[in-house]
Every structure is written in C-alpha cells, then in structure tokens.
C-alpha cells in the first residue's frame, strides 16, 4: 500500500485534542508576572501527560502581561490566548506533527506547522 495518511491524520487530530484541553483547561487562570514561569511549567507538564504527546512548550508573554496590568489596581489578570505562545509535538504511528498557537488578528489560532515521518 502506498503512503497511508491515517497516521498523519490521527497525529493532527491528537494535536487538536491537546490544544483544546490546554486552552479550555487553563483559560481564566489567574496569572501575574511573578507566577508566569510556574504556570508555564504546570501547563506543559499537564498536557505532556496525554497520550502521544512528545513535547509542549508554553511561553506566557511577559511584556503583554505587564501591559495589561499597567492601568489595573490588581497585580494579576486572567490567562487568555493573547498572553500565550504554545507549541505542541505529537507522535502517532510514525508521524510527528508540530503545531503552534499564536495570536492572529486578535484571535488565538492553532496551526499545523509540519507533519513528518519519524524513524520509529
């Protein structure tokens, strides 16, 4: 049989599940500049527990966070997509999908960056 797309399609599906879980589990979490690093680690470790997840990289954008707090009487705000850049790698049946979430025109978009065959 020629190249069977099932592994690639399933890897992409699995990445979507990871992003849905990440975004909807952590959106609304209180975050401050002081807690950003520990929240990044918590998110990464939580999502990496899921099946087929190879790597998660979460960056809470400190400058955007500080800007949001500039005119606030509070020292924290709610985590939203505007404060996040995320990359997730999923491996399924010899296919690795690399995905990224970042803001695009005011909306957090999750994209497939690449799908490649792995040597497993």
**Model confidence at 3, in pLDDT bands (50, 70, 90)?**
low
Evaluate whether 16 touches 50 at the Cβ level (below 8 Å): no
Find where tokens 């990440």 sit.
22
When pLDDT is averaged across residues 108-113 and rounded to a whole number, the result is 94
Domains of the chain: 29-117 (3.30.1300.20)
| pLDDT cut 90: percent of the chain above it | 81
When pLDDT is averaged across residues 1-21 and rounded to a whole number, the result is 81
pLDDT digits (tens, 9 = 90+) for 16-71: 999 999 999 999 999 999 999 999 999 999 999 999 999 999 999 999 999 999 98
Q: For 14-30, b where at least 16 C-beta lie within 10 A, e where not — what string?
A: bbbebbeebbeebeeee
pLDDT of 6: 76
Provide the whole-model pTM. Answer: 0.89
């Amino acid at each position: 049989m020629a190249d069977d797309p099932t592994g690639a399609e399933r890897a992409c599906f699995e990445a979507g599940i990871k992003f849905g879980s990440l975004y909807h589990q952590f959106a609304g979490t209180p975050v401050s500049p002081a807690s950003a690093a520990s929240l990044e680690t918590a998110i990464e470790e939580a999502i990496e527990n899921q099946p087929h997840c190879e790597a998660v990289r979460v960056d809470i954008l400190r400058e955007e966070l500080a800007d949001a707090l500039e005119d606030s009487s509070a020292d924290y705000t709610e985590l939203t997509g505007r404060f996040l850049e995320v990359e997730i790698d999923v491996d399924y049946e010899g296919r690795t999908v690399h995905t990224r979430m970042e803001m695009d025109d005011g909306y957090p978009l999750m994209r497939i960056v690449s799908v490649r065959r792995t040597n497993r």
